[in-house]
Structure 1
Amino acid sequence: MELKNSVVLVTGASSGIGEATAHAVVQAGARAVLLARRQDRLDDLALELGSDVLAIPCDVTSPAEVQKAVQIVQEKYGRIDVLINNAGQGLYATIEGIYIDDFRGLLNLNTVAPLIMMQAVIPLMRAQGAGCIVNVSSGATLATYPGSAAYTSSKSALNMISKVARLELADAGITVSLIHPFMTATEFYGSVKSGLNTAQEQAVGATSIAHPPSLVAHMIVNLIRTGDEETDLVPKEYGGSFDG
């Protein structure tokens, strides 16, 4: 899909990969729609990116808020060409130590919310006869690590939703793609649902190998343009295919 003049909706846009992706799509000539809960950060980013950027505070776990946001976009631009499901959160705990309420919350944000977003934009994309959805998964789903069961299971479920959606929506001209980032230098490790100390230790240990969010954003832009099924930024020695 050509990005120039397209309308691109990015969730989790207030920081990290989402913020970098907003920069990347605007640089490619797209009109960015920024969704996140932190309005102050969204407003600052929109001001930085330029006049043709729409910032909408939204809790993507709320179907009502998502529908309202999509309606605002439709009224302003008349279309949504690309959805980038980036909002998400981590959780570090052993199987015995996973708090069920925390796990439910994680599933709601990492798995259910992307589905809510997809269901909200697919009718518009069907009517347009074209569209692109990119779901941000995790490189951690490509291997097995102690303490990762809650997080990786939520993202593995997103992987299957994405793959089935790609099959179901192909005839409508809608591509659904997956990206599996590697460790990325963002606020992710400081905002996990639980296991903060473990996450921060991992972040410190990964400083030398963590990717900048701009690299993930670049790969997301490539997925939009090519419509490929999936890509990953996980180095080969960690079970991925990335040579960079």
Structure 2
Amino acid sequence: MKSNIWLITGISSGLGKALAETVMDKGDFIIGTFRKQKQVDAFNAKHGVTGHALLLDITNEEQVERAVQQIVSQYGRIDVLVNNAGMGFVGAIEESTMEEVRQVFEANVFGTLKLTQTVLPHMRKAQDGHIVQISSHGGIKAFAGFGIYNASKFALEGFSEALAQEVGPLGIKVSLVEPGPFRTKFAGDGLGLAKMEIAAYAATAGAFRGMLKSVDGKQEGDPVKAAEAIIDLVRSENPSFRLPLGKVALMTIGMKLDSVRADLEANKHIAENAVYPD
């Protein structure tokens, strides 16, 4: 089995950090991205042989293009792209300002899309590669108070599903990883919160906000086990398109599938009659 070169965004903490460390432990080479130069320097001082770090803000298109060009020039290829960098955000739909919404979409959709587009020509040339999109069970099922984040992950899932069909015949694989709650900093200091709070949503979005904060550090998911599952996915001959992670993810995604199926069955006759006669 050949050694892969991985590009993993957002490796300062959480799943990104666990994945970077586990990939290196298993003998592959990683290029990881940070948003602070001191983090880049510390990583490179520690991992000179097994990995290399770059400064990258995925919402900066010029930085994205320079970073990919630098990687390909220096290492020749990118075998695995893991779009892990992103942000969480909690707030009712009415509470969320357009500025806050744009910030979420810049990180979770547009930055990820730009990096994917920039790496693709090199994978197409090689007729090989695997793009791993770190989505969420919230990319399948929405929750009150999580709607903007849900919308960003729904968008990620949508373009990735189409992408998989477009690049599959070219030898490139695409997978969506859909974790439930994992013991990372997602629900901690890094979680974006709507500045506005409307009392009418205290029992829905407000309760969700409180719940997320209360479970910080107590989530069921083990980031190292998630990292190992992602590596196994990449090394599989026929990797799944979707990889749910965690018992909560299995439950919530199952609930969404049941809900969609129930609506399909309940409205089947209406749907079938909303067409021109034969």
- Provide the rounded CA distance (Å) in 2 between the counterparts of 1:199 and 1:31: 38
Q: Alpha-carbon deviation of 1:201?
A: 4.6
Q: Which residue of 2 aligns with 1:214?
A: 224
- Provide the rounded CA distance (Å) in 1 between the counterparts of 2:218 and 2:79: 36
**Aligned partner of 1:232 among 244, 260, 275:** 244
Q: Which residue of 1 aligns with 2:201?
A: none
**Most deviating of 207-216 and 120-129:** 207-216
Q: Which residue of 1 aligns with 2:38?
A: 40
- 2:6 counterpart SS class: strand
- Provide the rounded CA distance (Å) in 1 between the counterparts of 2:215 and 2:32: 31
**Most deviating of 190-199 and 59-68:** 190-199
Q: 1:55-74 counterparts in 2 under 5 A?
A: 55-74=53-72
What code does the residue aligned with 1:239 have?
A: T
Q: Is the Cα contact below 8 Å between 2:141 and 2:150 reproduced in 1? A: no
Determine whether 1:30 maps to 2:28: yes
Q: Which residue of 1 aligns with 2:265?
A: none
Q: Is the Cα contact below 8 Å between 1:111 and 1:154 reproduced in 2? A: yes
Q: Alpha-carbon deviation of 1:144?
A: 2.9
- 1:187 counterpart SS class: coil
- Provide the rounded CA distance (Å) in 2 between the counterparts of 1:46 and 1:221: 22
Q: Is the Cα contact below 8 Å between 2:14 and 2:185 reproduced in 1? A: yes
After superposition, the Cα gap between the structure-2 partners of 1:52 and 1:208, relative to the gap in structure 1 and judged at 3 Å, is closer
Q: Is the Cα contact below 8 Å between 1:92 and 1:192 reproduced in 2? A: yes
TM-score normalised per structure 1: 0.90
TM-score normalised per structure 2: 0.80
Q: Alpha-carbon deviation of 1:57?
A: 0.2
Q: Which residue of 1 aligns with 2:136?
A: 138
- 1:185 counterpart SS class: coil
- 2:91 counterpart SS class: coil
Q: 1:182-193 counterparts in 2 under 5 A?
A: 182-189=180-187, 190-193=189-192
- 1:167 counterpart SS class: helix
Q: Is the Cα contact below 8 Å between 2:100 and 2:194 reproduced in 1? A: no
- 2:192 counterpart SS class: coil
What count of residue pairs does the alignment treat as equivalent?
239
Gaps of 5+ in 1: none
- Provide the rounded CA distance (Å) in 1 between the counterparts of 2:182 and 2:48: 26
Determine whether 1:80 maps to 2:92: no
Q: Alpha-carbon deviation of 1:193?
A: 2.3
Q: Alpha-carbon deviation of 1:27?
A: 1.6
Gaps of 5+ in 2: 196-205, 255-278
Q: Is the Cα contact below 8 Å between 1:130 and 1:172 reproduced in 2? A: yes
Q: Which residue of 2 aligns with 1:106?
A: 104
- Provide the rounded CA distance (Å) in 2 between the counterparts of 1:157 and 1:134: 15
- Provide the rounded CA distance (Å) in 2 between the counterparts of 1:207 and 1:75: 40
Which structure has the larger Rg over C-alpha atoms? Answer: 2
When the two chains are superposed, the root-mean-square deviation of aligned CA atoms in Å is 2.0
Q: Is the Cα contact below 8 Å between 1:33 and 1:56 reproduced in 2? A: yes
- 1:180 counterpart SS class: strand
Kindly provide the CA deviation profile for residues 104-146 of structure 1, in whole angstroms up to 9, marking residues without a partner as x.
1100100111111111111001111100000000112333311
Q: Is the Cα contact below 8 Å between 1:14 and 1:42 reproduced in 2? A: no
Q: Alpha-carbon deviation of 1:207?
A: 4.3
